[in-house]
Amino acid sequence: MSKNVLLSFNGNRQIDAEIKLTGSKSECNRALVISALSKGTVSVDNLSDAADTELLVKSLKSVVNSPESLVDSSDSNPNTPDSGLTTQDSQLIDIGPAGTAMRFLTAFLSIQPGSFTLTGTERMKQRPIGILAEALKAIGADISYLENHGFPPLQISGPLKQTNNSVKIKGDISSQYISALLMIAPALTQGLTLEIEGDLTSKPYVDMTLAMLAQVGVNHVWEENKIGIAKQDFNSAKLYVEPDWSAASYWYAIAALADEASIFLPGLNGYSLQGDSKITEIMANFGITSQFKDGGVFLKKDAKPLSRKIFDLKECPDLAQTIIVVCAALGHDCTFTGLETLKIKETNRVLALQTELAKIGVKLIEKNLSYKLDCSGLFFPEKMFINTYEDHRMAMAFAPLALKIKQLEIEEKEVVNKSYPYFWKDLEKAGFEISEQG
């Protein structure tokens, strides 16, 4: 079991730091799948160091003969599950806790020759995959559920023999289902048209997928609720992965809770494909300005009263924990919408937030499809313990509270490896004191 980590910040709460972030996990995972589908004509630059990405790299290498320069896993985390083991006549691929890899590989493996058993952690077996699997089956994929209907592990036999070139899929569950289908569409014999039913959650991530496909020559048509991609080849290209805006969000949170802050994040730009770049707009409400210059973004804190009380996070749900914790710590009774997907993430993030915020006297009250903070009982204890529920974003969203609480102990230090392996080291660069706890 991973050790815990104890955070403290002594002296004046002034943050002055330059932090180089790893590549975006969202962009990198899409780039890797596109590269594998292109059979090597597309390469990837600035790979993410996230454990989830390393798991996807291993899995793709076990299935296709991708260039070593793209998916060389010789330096991969030794603690990641093995992929490519053969059990009877089926190749076992264990993606551990990597939810994006589970969705993308479900589609990717369905068009590969061979038989595959796709599985993950116990929590992964509780996260639904049925909507994507049934959509793939509707166009000819051979997929079956090995334990519970609609959930991993999956038995996948390919290649898919396409029987239909259009399919309906719900848009309000996970945009990753849609992205998974869009990426394999140009490799299908008949192409594919997706009809999205209902509201589209996390639309920027679908836009990201389509923009990256366009960078390698794959065109699409999007009319009303239908996205069509014809069968077509991938052009030779290199996909550059921008630094991770999700990781940047924690530095915005630190700036918001500090007395003074001047933070430089190199490599980020104001025209990002990543939906979580919306953090610049959201944190402007808390007096955090974003100035793009010198090849990155400068964060600076200015005194500003919060006037905005409602935040719609439908297009950036991965920012929810970060923003909710900041509002709670500052005593703002804000309301949040667009959190429908939080209950099927690495943990039930709504319940996890409610449980941990109660430790500082704050309530997160659910009413219909909105959530309201009640900060009337807010207090900061001398020492506090945060449970992470095996969720990397719980650890990183609550870490900035060390600017308010003298000793903040966070469970499972290594949980951050999933997306931001150097998080604790970067906090030290910014003046936080870090020590391991048994």
The residues, ordered by sequence, that sit 6+ positions from 280 with a Cβ below 8 Å of its Cβ are 252, 270, 290, 297
pLDDT of residue 403: 97
Cα–Cα distances (Å) from 189 to 160, 196, 231, 233, in that order, read 10, 21, 6, 11
* Cβ–Cβ under 8 Å, residues 311 and 334: yes
Question: Which of 7, 21, 13 has its CA nearest to residue 242?
Answer: 21
CA pair distance 215, 234, nearest whole angstrom: 9
CA pair distance 205, 315, nearest whole angstrom: 8
- Say what the pTM is: 0.83
Joined together, the tokens standing for residue 123 give: 């929590």
25-240: which CATH topology?
UDP-n-acetylglucosamine1-carboxyvinyl-transferase; Chain (3.65.10)
Instruction: Between 342 and 411, name the one with better pLDDT.
Output: 411
The residues, ordered by sequence, that sit 6+ positions from 414 with a Cβ below 8 Å of its Cβ are 2, 3, 79
Q: What are phi and psi of 79, to 5 degrees?
A: -90, 0
pLDDT of residue 40: 83
Taking 70 as the threshold, does the pLDDT of residue 5 lie above it? yes
Q: Is 318 a catalytic residue?
A: yes
| Domain-wise residue ranges, the chain | 4-22+243-437, 25-240
DSSP string computed for 179-206: HHHHHHGGGSTT-EEEEEES--TTHHHH
Cα–Cα distances (Å) from 188 to 118, 193, 217, 414, 434, in that order, read 21, 11, 16, 39, 50
pLDDT of residue 73: 37
pLDDT band at 86 (very low <50, low <70, confident <90, very high): very low
Beta strands in 75-186 (DSSP E): 83-87, 90-94, 114-119, 142-145, 154-158, 166-170
> 130-138 and 175-184 helices cross at what angle (nearest 10)?
30
pLDDT of residue 69: 42
| Ranges 56-70, 145-159, 250-264, 266-280: which has the least confidence | 56-70
Mean pLDDT of 412-427: 95
pLDDT band at 263 (very low <50, low <70, confident <90, very high): very high
pLDDT band at 79 (very low <50, low <70, confident <90, very high): very low
CA dihedral 27, 28, 33, 37 (to 10 degrees): 90
Query: Do 4-22+243-437 and 25-240 share a fold?
Result: yes
Q: Match 């921008």 to its residue by tokens.
A: 242
pLDDT tens-digit readout, 364-405: 999 988 999 999 999 999 999 999 999 999 999 999 999 999
Q: Mean of the per-residue pLDDT values for the chain? A: 91
Rg, C-alpha atoms of the chain: 22
- Bridging pattern class, strands 383-386 and 407-410: parallel
Joined together, the tokens standing for residue 281 give: 């707009």
pLDDT of residue 174: 83
pLDDT tens-digit readout, 134-186: 999 999 999 999 999 999 999 999 999 999 999 999 988 888 999 999 999 99
Helices of type H across 216-343: 245-257, 279-284, 320-329
pLDDT band at 1 (very low <50, low <70, confident <90, very high): low
Cα–Cα distances (Å) from 23 to 43, 46, 396, in that order, read 15, 6, 17
CA pair distance 249, 324, nearest whole angstrom: 12
* Cβ–Cβ under 8 Å, residues 159 and 207: no
43: left (phi over 0), alpha (psi -120 to 50) or beta: beta
Question: Which of 62, 75, 150 has its CA nearest to residue 108?
Answer: 62
Peptide bond into 204 cis (omega under 30): no
The amino acid at 215:
Q
Looking at domain 4-22+243-437, its CATH class is alpha beta
CA pair distance 360, 405, nearest whole angstrom: 10
CA pair distance 9, 289, nearest whole angstrom: 23
Please state the separation of Cα 339 from the chain's center in Å: 15
Catalytic residue among 49, 94, 318, 391: 318
Joined together, the tokens standing for residue 243 give: 């630094």
Mean pLDDT of 212-236: 96
Mean pLDDT of 335-361: 90
Taking 70 as the threshold, does the pLDDT of residue 76 lie above it? no
